Structure 1
Amino acid sequence: MSNPDFDLYRVSEDHDALREAVRNVAEARIAPYAAEVDDQARYPQEAHDALVETDFFAPHVAEEYDGVGADALATCIVIEEVARVCASSSLIPAVNKLGSMPLILGGDEDLKKRYLTPLAQGHSGFSYGLSERDAGSDTASMKTRAKADGDTWVINGQKSWITNAGVSDFYTVLAVTDPDGPRGRNVSAFILEKSDAGFTFGEKERKLGIKGSPTRELLFDNVRIPGDRMIGEPGSGLQLALRTLDHTRVTIGAQAVGIAQGALDFALGYVKERKQFGKRIADFQALQFMLADMAMKVETARQMVYVAAAKSERNDADLSFYGAAAKCYASDVAMEVTTDAVQLLGGYGYTQDFPVERMMRDAKITQIYEGTNQIQRLVMARQLLAG
């Protein structure tokens, strides 16, 4: 008999149906463009349009804002299945959640209705501005400033490594509002719009992977915004940012699982067709052991991500540990499994004629963004030591 105290998560029939639906969309309308998107380093507009049409663009947005209200596990399944064929495209729903999560956690109802509704309807994407050139892991040392001027705020500074910058219409931006205040409690969160005067973008970064997802700087030159665009209370921004990452690191774990699963699936098909020494290379025990280890790690990572997603949905007290663990383990697995997939294809795996080399390049970023895996281990260790 099931004990609810031990039901960390349950994949329902609805989740299974969702996976099938997303996979069908991904294979029919996203996978055919994945190699071209990577080769041309262009935004995956085909994926964008398909995700909007099928309500997978920002599935996490609640029904009261015209969203579909997908739970955290369902959102992870969407991201995982898209990442299985194209990591760049999976960043569309993932970053829409990242950018809007501070608003969901700390915004008032008027602000939520104003910005979550067009996001849910697919009219506007949502990006997240936290990191700076000299404030990456050390977010509290950010230099971007927001100064009160009557009923408005004037923002100056820059943000680095912003995913889908220039494509998204809305941006959650963290800025210091009290330069003399206590470190970490002097930062506030704001919503900026792409059309705000003085808000511009740097050149697109030239990256190893996820080339279809534009990464650019946000540049603020006396950007004046209404006072009601602050999320939550003054000084609460960094706490909101860290709470956001507890939830969204789980989605990066899902992305990593998807990339790893895509590489494993392709490698399995290849080794069953490729012949050497008169038989399929799948019949060699050394390769079977590699495949078994790859599958074991992918499934372990998936289970960690799904447990963390359930904790995210319930907002459990130990989410910080589980979110960090899921992201860290799944991204390490993605790097390992994609590297092994390249090895299984031999020389062919090293060429752009096959997708595993792209998957290997795409996997690397999952160990870096939303907190490097070294930072994840610090988060976990602090949680452990705090009891």
Structure 2
Amino acid sequence: MSKLTQEEFRNYLKSVRELAEGPFEVMQKEVEVTNKFPQEFIDLAIENNLYRYALPEEYGGWGLSEREILQVQEEFSRGPGGMRMHLHYAADLNWRILDDYGCPELKAEYMDKFCDKTIFTCFALTEQTGGTGADLHSTAIKDADGNYVINGEKWLISHTDVAQFAYVIAVTDPEKKGDERLSAFFVPMDAPGFELVPMPHMMGCRGAGHAGFKMTDVKLDPKYRLGEEGQGMEVAMHSLAISRVHIADSNLGMCQRMLDISIARARDRVTFGKPIISRQAIKMKLANMAMTTHALRCMVMDFADDYDNDPHGEYIAEKASMCKLYSIDATRLVSDEMMEIFGGDGYFEDNPIGPCERLYRDARAMWLEEGAPTIQRITIAREMDRHNGHLVYNNWLAGGDL
């Protein structure tokens, strides 16, 4: 648990919500056009400890529990999607991979630099020709001096415009099959042979700095390897399991915001002399939105409690994918109902009645972040098979946690 009192933590949550729905919303008008965050956004994030709160205390962070981290993230996820994407990454993959798998020398040099964004990273698994699984083509082969030489390309990588290091998954032993071929690396992006490849603007979540990059004979000292050789897919999958819950939590924040503005709109919009919230059809929509949002929050917080109890627990990956998968369906339902409640006015940009149109666009990125729905279903089924078909419920019947 954090050292903040309950009242201090609650006040911090309120301040994060005010930041997301206030200054961040104002800045987003410019970001929608430029696709780049203004320095003011970074400054406010630093000032409000949004790079610090999730870090362990030993690195200058607040040492919050996973439950508390997710509560903070829900509040800033009410704001613009690109800023949410940046901040949710900052609270999770940005530092966690190095902390979990970096050698002592790397951790001593860099871990305390995450708390004020002195350094920032990007996570580079996806390739155009190799997807995000074991079928990757980037290589990291040792030369005669024992250094790794990396060649290959990565695609659809977030935060490349503000990152100094990339977590890269590459093939270290082409003779092996499957996951054993792969290893993970902490690659300086200013290394000779590292080149960014621009990408078009996204439909939503503007400002999150997406690009591809090429690596041509990028030479790397062995200390920059994360974990052991052949452990690359484990590094990626364990890290993504946690991040998938952060995506689900991002969806939760958006769902709650969409529900809130839909209630406000239903109260304000009058047809035939009555606010539409008095209409039975609208009540049904709002009830479904509220129930779905609450169910998602229960799933996310259930995972948080499991993770706080045991970060490497048996059901972490399975529950993480369940959270991510359900959150997509939840966001689809809530965003569609919101658009109907707002009507034609909600389809227009920069609308004074609320950010309906932008929220609708931002939400669609969630289908793809940290794995599409098919990937989540494959993960859930694989984990059930690994548990000999025992579902979480059966674990509870046997005396374990539900």
Whether the TM-score (by the shorter chain) exceeds 0.5 is yes
Q: Is the 8 A contact 2:21 2:78 kept in 1?
A: no
Distance 1:99 1:237 in 2: 17
Structure 2 residue corresponding to 1:62, chosen from 49, 56, 63: 56
Aligned length: 376
Instruction: Find the counterpart in structure 1 of residue 67 from structure 2.
Output: 73
Which amino acid in 1 is paired with 2:349? Answer: Q
Q: Structure 1, residues 10-36: CA drift from partner, whole Å, max 9, x if none?
A: x96565343223113323331222233
Q: Aligned ranges for residues 198-237 of structure 1 at < 5 Å?
A: 198-237=193-232
Instruction: Find the counterpart in structure 1 of residue 118 from structure 2.
Output: 123
Structure 1 residue corresponding to 2:80, chosen from 77, 86, 110: 86
The structure-2 alpha-carbon separation of the partners of 1:18 and 1:109, relative to structure 1 and needing over 3 Å to count, comes to: farther
Instruction: Find the counterpart in structure 1 of residue 342 from structure 2.
Output: 345
Shift of 1:311: 2.1
Distance 2:213 2:68 in 1: 31
Q: Aligned ranges for residues 1-387 of structure 1 at < 5 Å?
A: 15-43=9-37, 45-96=39-90, 97-137=92-132, 139-149=133-143, 150-313=145-308, 314-315=310-311, 316-354=313-351, 355-385=355-385, 386=387, 387=390
Instruction: Find the counterpart in structure 1 of residue 399 from structure 2.
Output: none
- Helix, strand or coil: the match of 1:211? coil
Q: Is the 8 A contact 2:52 2:60 kept in 1?
A: no
For normalisation by structure 1, the TM-score amounts to 0.92
- Helix, strand or coil: the match of 2:64? coil
The structure-2 alpha-carbon separation of the partners of 1:264 and 1:319, relative to structure 1 and needing over 3 Å to count, comes to: same
Structure 1's unaligned 5+ residue stretches are 1-10
- Helix, strand or coil: the match of 1:366? helix
Q: Is the 8 A contact 1:37 1:211 kept in 2?
A: yes
Distance 1:306 1:46 in 2: 32
Shift of 1:44: 5.1
- Helix, strand or coil: the match of 2:114? helix
Distance 2:178 2:232 in 1: 12
Which amino acid in 1 is paired with 2:102? Answer: G
Q: Structure 1, residues 350-371: CA drift from partner, whole Å, max 9, x if none?
A: 1113311111111111121201
Percent of counterpart pairs with the same letter?
A: 28
Q: Structure 1, residues 63-117: CA drift from partner, whole Å, max 9, x if none?
A: 1122222222222222221120111111122223224332222222222222222
- Helix, strand or coil: the match of 1:70? coil
Instruction: Find the counterpart in structure 2 of residue 7 from structure 1.
Output: none
Which amino acid in 1 is paired with 2:44? Answer: A
- Helix, strand or coil: the match of 2:178? coil
- Helix, strand or coil: the match of 1:140? coil
Distance 2:33 2:344 in 1: 19
